[in-house]
Amino acid sequence: MLILECPYCGVMADETDLHGGGEAHLKRFGPGSSDDEFETYLFHRKNPKGVHFERWRHVSGCGKWFHAARNTMTLEVYGTYPAQTTEPPKELVAKIKKKHPEWGGYE
Amino acid sequence: MSNAVSALQGASFDGYCKVEEAGLTGMIALRGDLSSAGVANAVKAVTGAAMPGQGEVTEGAKGRVGWMSPDELLLIVDHAEAPGIVEAATKSLGDAHSLVVNVSDARAVYRVKGAACREVIAKLTPADTSVMQPGMLRRTRIAQIPAAFYLEDDETAVLVCFRSVAQYAFDLLKDAAQPGGEIFK
């Protein structure tokens, strides 16, 4: 069972309290973008084996969206952070890097 | 005015905890910037309660105030007084970006009384009820429906859910409080 700390409520919410929202930090390509960019935005996802940044919604709690960094292979959760950002916090990236030096980093 | 009735009109069940529908309860949803002085003043003025912190519920002379999310409060007050309180709070908030709505008749409220009230709720929710203390509020789910609960005292839990699922919630609580279903004897 996946348990994430909601950064807004401060409670440990389990998977059944949450709703997954897929990959985090996508950049939208809307009107005026090329077909290739639009296709990438709509369909191309990283789907890594290892460190992954995701969006989650505390659906039966505060109802807010937040971000989580976790490992898709070991299910280890590295941390959660509020959604008002376009990239993961530097401390969190540094923490994951320290743990997994082989990890290529965010991007 | 029409005769207001609560969802299950005070239905109750005696198990190893007593489960009862709380009857008419006034509830007001207040949304706004919770860190602003305007909201704190409005809440203080209408309920007498202090601003609750994250995951808390506070009590005042005229009602309780629960923290529902970073921008939402739940005011639990007398049912008949709720419309007046909405008016007073709206007036007090003035031009501040906010919303005050009387949701009394959209909700159902249950009391679970007994030493094992935490255990009865724990059977239905993923939340850790053992850490719950009076003064804390948790918004989560019971079985398949959203619900919030807090403790009035160590042996009384209050659970709030939507009125449309009132019967379902009562049946769940009844089942969880069935004699013979004790986990920690």
Which distant-in-sequence residues (6+ apart) come within 8 Å of A104 by Cβ?
A: none
Cβ within 8 Å, pair B69-A64: yes
Q: What is the pLDDT of residues A36-93, one digit of tens each?
A: 999 999 999 999 999 999 999 999 999 999 999 999 999 999 999 999 999 999 999 9
pLDDT for B1 equals 65
> What is the rounded CA–CA span in Å between residue B64 and residue B52?
10
> What is the rounded CA–CA span in Å between residue B185 and residue B181?
10
pLDDT for B161 equals 97
- Which chain A residue has its CA at the smallest distance from B146's CA? A60
pLDDT at A105 over 90: no
B37-47 helix and B82-93 helix, angle to the nearest 10 degrees: 150
> What is the rounded CA–CA span in Å between residue B41 and residue B47?
10
End-to-end CA separation in angstroms for chain B: 49
Which residue among A9, A12, A64 places its CB closest to the CB of B54? A9
For the stretch A50-89, what's the b/e string if a residue is b when 16 or more beta carbons lie within 10 angstroms of its beta carbon? ebbbbbbbbbbbbbbbbbbbbbeeeeeebbbbebeeeebe
**A10 contacts in chain B (CB < 8 Å):** 54-55
Eight-state DSSP code of residue A82: E
Residue B117 contacts residue B157 (beta carbons within 8 Å): yes
- Which chain B residue has its CA at the smallest distance from A12's CA? B127
> What is the rounded CA–CA span in Å between residue B18 and residue B170?
11
pLDDT in tens, chain B (185 residues): 688 999 999 999 999 999 999 999 999 999 999 999 999 999 999 999 999 999 999 999 999 999 999 999 999 999 999 999 999 999 999 999 999 999 999 999 999 999 999 999 999 999 999 999 999 999 999 999 999 999 999 999 999 999 999 999 999 999 999 999 999 87
**B69 contacts in chain A (CB < 8 Å):** 8-9, 61-64
pLDDT for A44 equals 94
Cβ within 8 Å, pair B141-A60: yes
> What is the rounded CA–CA span in Å between residue B84 and residue B152?
25
Cβ–Cβ contact B35 with A under 8 A: no
> What is the rounded CA–CA span in Å between residue B88 and residue B83?
9
**A7 contacts in chain B (CB < 8 Å):** none
> What is the rounded CA–CA span in Å between residue B183 and residue A27?
50
Residue A67 contacts residue A83 (beta carbons within 8 Å): yes
Which residue among A11, A63, A64 places its CB closest to the CB of B55? A11
Which distant-in-sequence residues (6+ apart) come within 8 Å of B182 by Cβ?
A: B16, B116, B119
Q: Which helix (H) or strand (E) holds A5?
A: strand A3-5
Residue A83 contacts residue A76 (beta carbons within 8 Å): no
Residue A62 contacts residue A8 (beta carbons within 8 Å): yes
Residue B100 contacts residue B28 (beta carbons within 8 Å): yes
For residue A45, how far is the Cα from the chain centroid?
Answer: 12
Q: Which helix (H) or strand (E) holds B68?
A: strand B63-69
Residue B75 contacts residue B46 (beta carbons within 8 Å): yes
